[in-house]
Amino acid sequence: MGMFKRFSLQFARPEGYLGRVAGKLMASTGVKNNEWTISLLQIKRSDHVLEIGFGPGVAIDLVSNLIPNGQYVGIDYSYVMLQAAKKRNKQAIQEQRVKLQLADVNQFPTFKSLTKFFLSIRLFFGKNRLNH
């Protein structure tokens, strides 16, 4: 497999060094898309927001600042992205405004709080995922 193909696969499920590079690229290029999508959600200060596939955690920071009386919950199935998002949103996690989980959407975890919005900025599925 060529280097370009190996790198492009990192956007589906980032792993290792190339996954960290892909995450940095996603973080630096996705801010405008995140801001636009979040603006459409009309998020209120006490909303509970779920994001599936939070990637490097850019939207987490934007959303958690909009919901000081609410909560943000995110799931992602990439350990590399979980670590990047935790680092980027350390304060909000410590303040318990943000909860992040390593999880696959096919084994969807249960959540105690009511989730009003489903926020997915970027989701990449392999062709096998769409056939099931």
Q: Residues near 10 by Cβ (< 8 Å), separated by ≥ 6?
A: 18, 19, 21, 22
pLDDT in tens, 11-41: 666 777 766 767 776 777 778 888 888 888 8
* pLDDT at residue 131 in the model: 39
CA-CA distance, 85 to 69, in Å (whole number)? 21
Question: What are the DSSP calls for 72-131, one per residue?
Answer: EEEEES-HHHHHHHHHHTHHHHHTTSEEEEE--GGGPPP-SS---EEE-S-----HHHHT
Lowest mean pLDDT among 48-52, 56-60, 88-92, 119-123: 119-123
Of 67 and 33, more confident: 67
pTM over 0.95: no
pLDDT in tens, 81-132: 999 999 999 999 999 999 999 987 777 767 666 566 565 665 544 444 433 3
Tokens 């992602």, located at residue: 76
